[in-house]
A and B are shown apart, each in its own frame.
Chain A
Amino acid sequence: MIPSERIRWLAALAVAASLGLSVAAPAAAHGPDPVLGGGRFSQNEVLAFRWRSGAEPPSAIKTAIRNAAADVGESKASQAATFAYSSTGANPIGYGTGTCGVNGIGCFTRSAPDSFTMWLREHGRVYDWGTLRWCQMLTTLTNGCYDAETIALDEFGHVEVLDHHDNYADDSDYTDAVVQTFSRTRPKTGWNMHGFGPCDTATLQVQYDIPLASSPVSSCLDLATVLTLGASSTLLGDGGVVTFTSTLRTITSTAYGRLSTQWLAKRTVRLQQRPAGATTWSTIATMTSGSPTGSYTASVALHTTADYRAVFSTPTTEGLRGDTSPTVGVDVMPCTYICPLSVEG
């Protein structure tokens, strides 16, 4: 995906959310999952679920649902809500007919920020194409069954805020999201995903924020960043030490949701130097991530007048776009005028 496509996607997500719409934004291949309307739960809220009275799942399906709830916690990569079983939980999960309408395999309701419900259809339900079989209900695993843990994870994703991922035409990116329009059966690729994919977590991060400033940003995003650079002094004597301070954050954009103006810590920010009269830059230090959040420093003894800049290269493992700070010039004067103590001694 080219960056402009992702930007349009993010903008579409933001508009859809602001209007309270409940279906996918206009389809564009790939990108962060679209969002459902109806608001969000609180950040890191623990949503307790119980089994619906009179419609309790069998033990194998209960285990799968509990595992899916654990999968949420382990893979959400964001401050999205988590799910935990409690016999007194406010949110019922049922098994059987329920009120899913024509939905094939399961369904949910979400009333964020208050509550949710979920249903999974029963093993043995017959559809036009054949009979629904949950892999967890089979004594001997055979092809063509659905993985209840994956489907429950899909439903939990919907409850959070996620709508179905839009795949490439050839579905080659199917495993980028577990929240899919079409569920897959064993042994097709993605039939048993037990964690959110990057395009699921991308939207969860936009909607709920990343856990920490140092947490990776989903590779399904492509967020522009802003890198600054300042120097403790721009005029000093030969051998004087200058502390360079840089800050790194995402740009300010409503399309970025909670990742707008997000400070970014523990990334690789390099300090580069271009001596006066030269045309090329060379790295002289890797700046240290520190406090306040999103700041990076490097203290360097200087011996020549030069320009300096900080560089954050586009990482290959997360969805951030690199940036280069404006240039800061530092003049180093001969020792006859200003000499640091370390030099004089």
Chain B
Amino acid sequence: MAESRWFRRAGPGVAALGAVALVASTTLGARLAPWQPPSCVGVPHVAPGPSGAWYRIDPTIVEGARTGQRLTVGSASAGLAHALDLEAESFAAGPFGGVVLSGSDDGSVSQLSLIDIAAGCAWTIDRSGDVIRRATISPDGATLIEFRVDRTTRADLGVWRRPLDGRGDDERILPPIDPDRRFGPTWLTELSWSDDGSLLAVQSCGEVSCRVRWLDPRTNDAGIVRDPSIGDLVGLTRERLVAHGACRGLPCPIRSVDLGSGTVATIVAAAGQATLVGTDDRPQVVYELDPDGSGIGSIEIDGTGARTLPIDRAGRRLVAGPDWAGSAAGLPPGWVAFGPEGRLPLAGPLDVVLRRITDGRTVPFGEVPR
């Protein structure tokens, strides 16, 4: 896009809208051509911008069977969208600033890529003969964390870390999780961070119930919540873990676990999708009041301060965590996203809005407040 003097004067809001329109025009109604990002130069690093980075991952299904996955990455504010075709066993994580982490396994080798959305390039940051099931990047951008399984036996190999810049060896920071018949075989392991970025959460889910291990990488303090009544992780703070109950569907309770005492409290009896939102004050759990998302509420992680929030009159749903949404966006503290069916749309973020939970202010996705 050629930047004009008028464009510069119009300011970030209009720029964002223009960017949204561009993204829409490049993706709406047409499948993006597969993108093979060129190699980025220099040492891999987490690029700080642009704001409004997002990704969405969808299975590619041919005659009813998954043959691969399509990862779409973009930036609302920069007007970019690219689509990458990944193997059937693949994942995405982030965004971390302006980069998205992707992993793809071709049956022989797992490869991790760090995609710089604005620069339009990617680094290959790891290759492994083991299967790298999931990965994340520490909030300071310095460390790559991986969860791996054995390629042949699919046995849990634990959680590993290494410097993102590649200048250092792998180190296992958590062992394989113990077998526990109450949870059954592990279906899905997910990595995430506490609201302040100080704790790594490793969620190991059986068919319905989940165990969550937490680790402070600086001190190696660690703990585990292994309560079969706990399902998927909604969010983690240094004091509490918030999770759905162990449900196979919605509605489902939201539970809060005191990491110190292990006490479990049900803070919402029946909820739809939910997400933990960091604020300048105390983190809030924002959740759908019912499975249809026809109402929105928020509550503090200790179960106090419950209140309802304005609904989205256009019928958008709360975009919850990546496990639920199959997509994620970089959001400023205190804001949540609403999108069609609770996802970031393939048509670009045109249909996504952001809302500030404190006052209900709603803006288009590209108009990320500073």
Smallest CB separation, A3 vs chain B (Å): 27
Contact check, A164 vs B59: say whether CB atoms are below 8 A apart. no
Q: How distant is B256 from chain A, measured CB to nearest CB, in Å?
A: 15
Closest residue of A by beta carbon distance from B147: A128
Residues of A within 8 A of B207 (CB): 103-105, 181-183
In the bound assembly, the distance between CA atoms of A124 and B270 in angstroms comes to 32
Q: Once A and B bind, how many residue pairs between them come within 8 Å at the CB atom? A: 149
- 1/0 contact trace for A105-116 toward B, CB 8 Å? 111111100010
Asked if B186 CB lies within 8 Å of chain A CBs, one says yes
Query: Which of A38, A95, A104 is B205 in contact with, Cβ under 8 Å?
Result: A104
Contact of A99 among B246, B253, B269, B342 (CB under 8 A): B342
* Given the contacts A22-B252, A97-B326, A122-B64, A37 and B188 also touching, CB distance less than 8 Å: no
Q: A101-B232, A128-B189 are in contact. Are A23 and B253 (CB under 8 A)?
A: yes
Whether A128 pairs with B187 at a CB distance below 8 angstroms is yes
The reply to whether B245 and A137 form a contact with Cβ atoms under 8 Å apart is no
Within 8 A of A (CB), among B229-257: 229, 231-232, 244-253
Q: Interface size bucket, A side?
A: 35 or more
User: Would you call A124 and B231 a contact (CB within 8 A)?
Assistant: no
CA distance A183 to B245 in the complex (A): 19
Question: A59 — nearest CB in chain B belongs to which residue?
Answer: B64
Q: Are B269 and A102 in contact (CB under 8 A)?
A: no
Supposing A101-B323, A104-B187, A128-B154 touch, asked if A109 and B292 sit within 8 A by C-beta, the answer is: yes
Asked if B67 is at the interface of the complex by the 8 Å CB criterion, the answer is yes
CA distance A100 to B65 in the complex (A): 18
Within the complex, the shortest CB–CB distance from B116 to chain A, in Å, comes to 26
The reply to whether the CB of B58 lies closer than 8 angstroms to some CB of chain A is yes
**Measured between C-beta atoms, what is the minimum distance from A229 to chain B in Å?**
47
A301 close to chain B: CB less than 8 A: no
Do residues B64 and A99 form an inter-chain contact, with CB atoms below 8 A? Answer: no
Is the beta-carbon distance between A111 and B290 smaller than 8 angstroms? yes
A8 sits at the interface (CB 8 A): no
Contacts of A61 in B (CB 8 A): 64
Chain A, residue nearest B326 (CB) = A97
In the complex, which residues of chain A have a beta carbon less than 8 angstroms from the beta carbon of B189?
A: 128
Q: Does A165 contact B (CB under 8 A)?
A: no
Residues A37 and B324 in contact, CB atoms below 8 Å apart: no
Would you call A30 an interface residue if the criterion is a C-beta within 8 Å of the partner chain's C-beta atoms? no
Q: Is A57 engaged at the interface, CB distance under 8 Å to the other chain?
A: yes
Per-residue contact bits, chain B 319-342, to A (CB 8 Å; 1 contact, 0 not)? 010011110000000000000011
Q: How far is the CB of A143 from chain B (nearest CB, A)?
A: 16
Name the interface size band of chain B: 35 or more
A97 to B326, CA, bound (A): 7
User: Does A21 lie at the interface of the complex (its beta carbon under 8 Å from any beta carbon of B)?
Assistant: yes
Q: Is A20 located at the chain interface by the 8 A CB criterion?
A: yes
1/0 per residue A162-195: CB within 8 Å of B? Answer: 0010000000000000000111000000000000
Partner of A129, one of B186, B269, B292: B186
CB distance from B72 to the nearest CB of A (A): 13
- Chain B hits for A129, CB < 8 A: 154, 185-187
Residues of B within 8 A of A128 (CB): 133, 149, 154, 156, 185-189
| Inter-chain contacts of B273 with A (CB < 8 A) | 99, 101
Of A100, A101, A103, A131, chain B has the most CB atoms within 10 Å of the CB of A101
Give the complex CA separation of A125 and B270 in angstroms. Answer: 29
Question: Within the complex, which residue of A38, A115, A127, A164 is in contact with B270, where a contact is CB–CB below 8 Å?
Answer: A38
Is A164 within 8 A of B248, CB to CB? yes
A-side contacts of B343, CB under 8 Å: 99
Q: How far is the CA of A110 from the CA of B290 in the complex (A)?
A: 9
A267 contacts the other chain (Cβ, under 8 Å)? no
A23 and B249 contact, Cβ closer than 8 Å, known pairs A102-B232, A103-B208, A104-B187: no
Q: Does A123 contact B (CB under 8 A)?
A: yes
Q: Is B119's CB within 8 Å of the partner chain A?
A: no
A179's closest neighbor in chain B, by CB?
B248
Interface contact A110-B324, CB-CB below 8 Å? no
A100 to B207: give the CA distance in the assembly, Å.
11
Judged by a CB distance under 8 angstroms, whether A126 is at the interface is yes
Question: B38 within 8 Å of A by Cβ?
Answer: no
Decide: A97 and B247 in contact? CB cutoff 8 A.
no
CB closest residue in chain B, given A107: B249
Q: Does B184 contact A (CB under 8 A)?
A: yes
A130 within 8 A of B: yes
Among B59, B190, B208, B320, the residue within 8 A (CB) of A97 is: B59
Q: Which residues of A223-261 have CB atoms within 8 Å of chain B's CB atoms? A: none
Does any Cβ of A come within 8 Å of B3's Cβ?
no
**9 A-B pairs whose Cβ atoms sit less than 8 Å apart in the complex:** A23-B246, A102-B190, A102-B205, A102-B210, A103-B232, A109-B249, A109-B291, A123-B64, A131-B88
For the complex with contacts A59-B64, A96-B61, A101-B320, 10 further pairs of A-B residues with Cβ separation under 8 Å are: A20-B269, A22-B245, A37-B269, A99-B341, A103-B248, A111-B290, A126-B88, A128-B156, A128-B185, A181-B184
Seen from chain A, the residues whose Cβ lies within 8 Å of a Cβ on chain B are 19-24, 37-38, 57-61, 95-97, 99-111, 115, 117, 122-131, 137, 155, 158, 164, 181-183
